[in-house]
Amino acid sequence: MRRALLAGAAAVLAAVSATAVAMVHAEAATQTLQSLAAAKGKYFGSATDNPELSDTAYTAILGGGEFGQTTPGNSMKWDATEPTRGSFSFTRGDAVVDFAAAHNMKVRGHTLVWHSQLPGWVSSLPTGDVQAAMENHITQVATHYRGKVFAWDVVNEPFNDDGTLRTSPFSTAMGVGYIADALRTARAADPDAKLYINDYNTDGLGAKSDAMYNLVKSLQAQGVPIDGVGFQGHLAIQYGFPSQMQQNLQRFADLGVDVAITELDVRMVLPRDATKDATQATYYSNVVKACVAVTRCVGVTIWDYTDKYSWVPNTFSGQGAALPWDENLAKKPTAYNAIVSALGGVVPSPSGSTSPPPASSSPPPSGGCTAVYQVVNQWNTGFQGEVSVTAPAGKTGWKVTLTFANGQTVTQLWNGSYAQSGSTVTVTNVSWNATPPATFGFLANWSGTNAAPAVTCA
């Protein structure tokens, strides 16, 4: 009798936990950064660039539902669009626009007037000719992309860090008035695009954001079209989090302009470790929460989503690891889950493993390791899976088998070597991750049903 009762209770518990697992699965399949942001009336985006668009593993994630917005990192800048005077090239920018259109992403245009990535011919113009060149550039580029971008960074980085006006061919020729002229010219070329000024180190309260604030007020007083202010959000954990970011965004919103986080990344001094990752995650969380808390914050864009294509290591020697996906296109659970939580989402718990993580007092699992499988992203015909391998200290070398029931086929796998034979995928460690904990990721095709595989670890 007692045995029968216990067996019955165990069956009920098993059914309840199976339901819980199924719920987490359903949640994980539909919840993306974009879907969470959209539920709050915002977008979540990633910058991209043309060389990356030929990397199919990269584009599978970029266009796979996590992001509802993109910004071309370089291809709409002056040196790309008008390398010689009057001769315009839109091929690379158009490629980004086409990718975005095919994957349900909106585009921020970046950028019309900037002191950097400016072709030599602009810098050598006589001052009397700069205004005409600037107006023509804005008119041609904004007209070409009319209806294709929802916003323009019309002017980029107009200030020095102390809040004084940055010297550029434009400020030299026209003084601060170049900003009003640029905005008016952009409005005439594309009356529907939201017109932004965008800068870095303006994320928190301080002299530089005060300068931006005063500029916006003064433009509004002159009747100049200004719809938004972009806060780039290039942060570094070693320099501290910007002071009172939410209050800063709010004071701009209170002027009646939109605000956006336009180029977010959070770099660190390499190498990565768990403590730095945790600090980075709080930065991501704080930025996203600040945007969520400000109604007029329209969205957050990370400055590409993967360390594979980050600008950081090329600019700051010894620094990097700034993005929520690593250089192998694997999600960093710490940063990613922090963003998910900040957007009000449920952090997916590992599920689908045949061997749940052992309690600290349990004996070592048979085979000496535990593998936890999860789907981190899924779209029409493909999905991205991730497996975490843990083991008691002392184990070197691991082998995970995944046996799929629905014909799933792995097309690419990172942080492991793999072979697929029929329904069974066998994955072994690579030289540098032989000692658990280790995580590998993969892309696979599916159709019909995408049930979690049976998992073993040895």
Closest-approach residue to ligand 9MR (CB): 311
> What character string, x for contact with ligand 9MR (CB under 6 A) and - otherwise, covers 197-216?
---x----------------
Q: At its nearest, how many Å lie between ligand 9MR and the CB of residue 145? A: 16
The catalytic residue positions are 263
Strands (E), 74-116: 106-113
Q: Which has the closest alpha carbon to 76: 105, 114, 106?
A: 114
Block residue for tokens 């910004």: 71
Chain residues 254-293 in contact with ligand 9MR, contact rule CB under 6 A: 263
- End-to-end distance of the chain based on CA atoms, in angstroms? 39
Of 156 and 390, the one with the shorter C-beta distance to ligand 9MR is 156
350-409 residues near ligand 9MR, rule: CB under 6 A: none
User: Left, alpha or beta for 455 (phi > 0: left; psi -120 to 50: alpha)?
Assistant: beta
Alpha-helical runs (H) found in 310-426: 312-315, 333-342
Minimum Å distance from CB 47 to ligand 9MR?
7
311 near ligand 9MR, rule: CB under 6 A: yes
Q: What x-and-dash track marks residues 155-194 binding ligand 9MR by CB under 6 A?
A: -x--------------------------------------
**What 3-state DSSP class applies to 373?**
strand
Where b means 16+ CB within 10 Å and e means fewer, 31-41 reads bbbbebbeebe
Q: Looking at 48, 232, 429, 439, which residue binds ligand 9MR (CB under 6 A)?
A: 232
Cα gap 182→195, rounded to integer Å? 10
Quote the least distance from Cβ 53 to ligand 9MR, whole Å: 14
Amino acid at 151: A
Smallest separation, CB 110 to ligand 9MR (Å): 6
Strands 258-269 and 297-302, bridge-based pairing: parallel
- CB atoms inside a 10 Å sphere around CB 179: 23
For residue 453, state whether it binds ligand 9MR (rule: CB under 6 A): no
The CB-of-311 to ligand 9MR minimum distance in angstroms stands at 4
Which are the contacts of 188, defined by CB distance < 8 A and separation ≥ 6? 139
For residues 149 and 193, give the distance between their C-alpha atoms in angstroms, rounded to a whole number. Answer: 7
Q: Compute the least distance from the CB of residue 300 to ligand 9MR, in Å.
A: 15
Q: Indicate the residue among 78 and 213 with the shorter CB distance to ligand 9MR.
A: 78
Residue 233 or 441: the one with the smaller Cβ distance to ligand 9MR is 233
Q: Which of residues 45-74 bind ligand 9MR (CB under 6 A)?
A: 73-74
Smallest separation, CB 187 to ligand 9MR (Å): 22
Find the shortest distance in angstroms from Cβ 327 to ligand 9MR: 16
> Which member of 91, 116, 172, 411 binds ligand 9MR (CB under 6 A)?
116
Q: Which is nearer to ligand 9MR, 49 or 181 (CB)?
A: 49
- C-beta separation of 76 from 108 below 8 A: no
Say if CB 244 and CB 302 are below 8 A apart.
Answer: no
Binding flag, residue 117, ligand 9MR (CB under 6 A): yes
Q: Which is nearer to ligand 9MR, 34 or 232 (CB)?
A: 232
- Burial, 66: exposed, middle or buried (Cβ in 10 Å; 0-12, 13-18, 19+)? buried
H or E segment to which residue 424 belongs = strand 424-428
The residue among 437, 296, 421 whose CA lies nearest residue 429 is 437
How many residues belong to the site for ligand 9MR (CB under 6 A)?
Answer: 9
In the bound complex, what is the minimum distance in angstroms from residue 279's beta carbon to ligand 9MR? 21
Long-range contacts at 52-61 (CB < 8 A, ≥ 24 apart): 52/304, 52/309, 53/95, 53/96, 53/99, 55/308, 57/329, 57/412, 57/443, 58/306, 58/308, 58/309, 58/329, 59/99, 60/379, 60/382, 60/384, 60/443, 61/305, 61/306, 61/325, 61/329, 61/377, 61/384
Q: Please state, in angstroms and rounded to a whole number, the distance separating the CA atoms of residues 260 and 43.
A: 10
123 binds ligand 9MR, rule: CB under 6 A = no
Query: Where do contacts with ligand 9MR occur on this chain (CB under 6 A)?
Result: 73-74, 116-117, 156, 200, 232, 263, 311
